[in-house]
Amino acid sequence: MNFSLKVWRQANAKAAGEFKTYKVNDITEDTSFLEMLDILNEDLIKKNEEPITFDHDCREGICGTCSLYINGRPHGPKNLVTTCQLFMRSFKDGETITIEPFRAKPFPVLKDLMVDRSAFDRIIQAGGFISVSTGSAPDGNSIPIHKDVVEEAMDAAQCIGCGACVAACKNASAMLFVSAKVSHLGLLPQGKVERLERVLNMVAQMDEEGFGSCTNTYACEAECPKGISVTNIARLNREFLAATFS
Q: List the domains of the chain with CATH numbers.
A: 3-110 (3.10.20.30), 117-132+143-244 (1.10.1060.10)
Helix intervals (H) in the chain: 33-46, 118-126, 147-157, 164-168, 175-186, 195-209, 219-223, 231-244
Average pLDDT of every residue of the chain: 94
For the segment 153-160, the average pLDDT, to the nearest whole number, is: 95
For the segment 133-153, the average pLDDT, to the nearest whole number, is: 81
* Residue 58 confidence (pLDDT): 94
* Residue 132 confidence (pLDDT): 72
* Residue 129 confidence (pLDDT): 81
pLDDT confidence of 231, banded at 50, 70, 90? very high
What are the tens digits of pLDDT across the range 64-119? 999 999 999 999 999 999 999 999 999 999 999 999 999 999 999 999 999 999 99
pLDDT confidence of 141, banded at 50, 70, 90? confident
What are the tens digits of pLDDT across the range 159-191? 999 999 999 999 999 999 999 999 998 898 888
Q: Per-residue b/e over 41-78, b at no fewer than 16 CB within 10 Å? A: beeeeeeeeeebbbbbeebebebbbbbbbbeebbbbeb
Q: Per-residue b/e over 141-173, b at no fewer than 16 CB within 10 Å? A: eeeeeeeeeeebbebbbebbbbbbbbbbbeebb
* Residue 140 confidence (pLDDT): 67
Does the pLDDT value for residue 212 go beyond 70?
yes
- Between residues 218 and 129, the one the model is more confident about: 218
17-21, 34-38, 57-61, 188-192: least confidently modelled range: 188-192
Check the CA dihedral 128-132-137-142 and report its sign.
negative
Euclidean distance between CA atoms 121 and 222, whole angstroms = 23
For the segment 118-146, the average pLDDT, to the nearest whole number, is: 83
Question: Based on the number of CB atoms within 10 Å of its own CB, is 115 exposed (0-12), middle (13-18) or buried (19 or more)?
Answer: buried
* Residue 134 confidence (pLDDT): 72
Euclidean distance between CA atoms 176 and 182, whole angstroms = 10
Question: What are residue 23's DSSP bridge partners?
Answer: 4
* Residue 15 confidence (pLDDT): 94
Does the pLDDT value for residue 139 go beyond 80?
no
Model confidence pTM above 0.85: yes
- What share of the chain in percent tops pLDDT 70? 99
Question: Based on the number of CB atoms within 10 Å of its own CB, is 200 exposed (0-12), middle (13-18) or buried (19 or more)?
Answer: middle
